[in-house]
Structure 1
């Protein structure tokens, strides 16, 4: 453990804990160190540095990734000037209880957040020229140096990663894509989000829609690929669920039709003896791809027709089981139980109407 030359009657130590190496003006003041004394330590050749306004790194070497992130959060999370006199920041220590980190409501978002979430398509934080930080819309701070403030009227609940508040994957993804013009980079990030099991397409598309970037050329095709990727993964999980949990083999991807009558629609799996159908709920993401009243009308008409088709099947005695991609991913055993229960209940139901089964 290395100890600085004392600046006051209190002892300030530099430890391996990043929270002790990167401190705000208020946190230094809690140690009895004034802004003037801190500035003196940051003079050319001095032992400290000031990477951002009101934030100090207590060593002269280039800040690490963790130090850059903490500095960004301390800058973005400092209280408004009108409230600073009422705030006493505490510096975390080995014996601390409830501690004010100094981050306020700020959280890392964008590519830096995706890097913390483990995305291979996101560069390491140390190589980033910019770190995005999500803050409430009412904050009046400005983006400065390597910190870009992203304002939002409603903050998501942060995820704690490496001791830092980080935006959830879908929100971080939308903020990252909003700043990218490279279609290939956008596609890589969206694909990894789904293929890596970080989140479902419906959630991603919802965040992209909220950010009003679905119509951008570099996003449109990537979203189509995202939905196709999500669909393929959901189908694979459905196959694995049936096999792993000993369910009888169904007919896969078939169309149902009344003899000499109307088309009843396609289903992902069908057990004809029990008249049980499984549909993967992968249509939901397109609900978010709306940018005008005409699309809203088209969407409502599409979903009205979908609901009517489902009701028609159920009136004919066909049990329709809806499974979501997320539930197949996180709780396949539970979903297998749902399907098995529907199959077993067939013996207690009235026989279903005869339907024709055609390959899809």
Structure 2
């Protein structure tokens, strides 16, 4: 069927006038059709495409089904770790079991709003991210998808928090932790790595995402980490989270502006934070010590709360 990427359910083939014998003939070894899932067939040869797999999952799960989890996250143009499974939501009273590459999730909270790409139905970004996170075993993977969804403005933090509170508790520990970090002001996986490194070191604790102003009230910047007395700012430079040239330029301009007010800006790539943590901490120790040896900067610090 052209509108279903060449995927057809058995009941559809019967409605089109094919007899059970004719269907079985097409499914014979070497025939033009192949079974993808129970009662769902690919009416062509070759390896199924992602669209054909998604279509097959929905045909198998029923007319009220909708894709969620990692596959739905990717449908919203976000990268997402995950197994080669398609998570599909169905109403709690529906009768379908997980099979093959389809993982069935019964729910009493079927989404009111459903996104569509042709015949493919999938959930909103916040539901997709939360459901994907609940299936992940690595906190880093959960942290990455949550940060990416917020960084690229696919959904708002309150919606993710609502989904955490309203959804199932099973598998939610890492999601809760990731959202707690974001609520503390960490907006990317890279920033979270810097915060973790600092908090587990012997360095004096900085302020995270504090807003810096001149005495006249002009805004200077909002660094990832700020040692007020020392006048030292710590920043993560990441092409991964600042993909656009304009974003990267804005980062450089922010650094230049801070330095013009006498702030010692220390900045690193995420890979350096992950693999050369001792160097990062040594650089910060020297910068903070030097900052304590000079007069206090005329910078006003403001923090939320």
TM-score between both structures, scaled by the size of structure 1: 0.50
Determine the structure 1 residue equivalent to 2:103. 148
CA contact (8 A) 1:110 1:132 kept: yes
Are residues 358 and 28 of structure 1, via their aligned partners in 2, closer, same or farther at CA, if it must alter by over 3 Å? closer
Are residues 76 and 359 of structure 1, via their aligned partners in 2, closer, same or farther at CA, if it must alter by over 3 Å? closer
In the aligned structure 2, how far is the partner of 1:215 from the partner of 1:36? 45
1:55 to 23, 37, 40: 40
Determine the structure 2 residue equivalent to 1:190. 146
Determine the structure 2 residue equivalent to 1:202. 158
Are residues 25 and 110 of structure 1, via their aligned partners in 2, closer, same or farther at CA, if it must alter by over 3 Å? same
In the aligned structure 2, how far is the partner of 1:203 from the partner of 1:150? 21
2:11 to 19, 23, 26: 26
SS in 2 for 1:218: helix
Deviation by residue 1:250-269 (Cα, 9 ceiling, x = unmatched): 7899xxxxxxxxxxxxxxxx
Determine the structure 2 residue equivalent to 1:110. 69
CA contact (8 A) 2:70 2:129 kept: yes
CA contact (8 A) 1:112 1:122 kept: no
In the aligned structure 1, how far is the partner of 2:3 from the partner of 2:46? 14
CA contact (8 A) 1:174 1:207 kept: yes
Determine the structure 2 residue equivalent to 1:45. 30
- The answer for unaligned runs of 5 or more in structure 2 is 192-210, 212-216, 222-299
How many residues are paired up?
Answer: 198
For the aligned residues, what is the CA RMSD?
2.9
SS in 2 for 1:181: coil
Determine the structure 1 residue equivalent to 2:180. 224
In the aligned structure 2, how far is the partner of 1:359 from the partner of 1:106? 48
Q: Which has the larger radius of gyration?
A: 1
Determine the structure 2 residue equivalent to 1:121. 80
In the aligned structure 1, how far is the partner of 2:162 from the partner of 2:151? 18
In the aligned structure 2, how far is the partner of 1:230 from the partner of 1:214? 25
1:166 equivalent in alignment to 2:151: no
Offset of residue 18 of structure 1: 5.2
CA contact (8 A) 2:26 2:32 kept: yes
Are residues 106 and 217 of structure 1, via their aligned partners in 2, closer, same or farther at CA, if it must alter by over 3 Å? closer
In the aligned structure 1, how far is the partner of 2:46 from the partner of 2:301? 69
* Consecutive aligned runs of 4 or more in structure 1 exceeding 3 Å deviation: 212-217, 229-232, 249-253, 357-360
Determine the structure 1 residue equivalent to 2:21. 36
SS in 2 for 1:221: helix
Are residues 23 and 129 of structure 1, via their aligned partners in 2, closer, same or farther at CA, if it must alter by over 3 Å? same
Deviation by residue 1:111-147 (Cα, 9 ceiling, x = unmatched): 0101111112346xxxx52101111111011111111
TM-score between both structures, scaled by the size of structure 2: 0.58
Are residues 63 and 180 of structure 1, via their aligned partners in 2, closer, same or farther at CA, if it must alter by over 3 Å? same
SS in 2 for 1:56: strand
> What does 1:1-360 align with in structure 2 at a 5 Å threshold?
17=2, 19=4, 21-77=6-62, 104-122=63-81, 128-156=83-111, 157-213=113-169, 216-227=172-183, 228-229=185-186, 360=303
Determine the structure 1 residue equivalent to 2:291. none
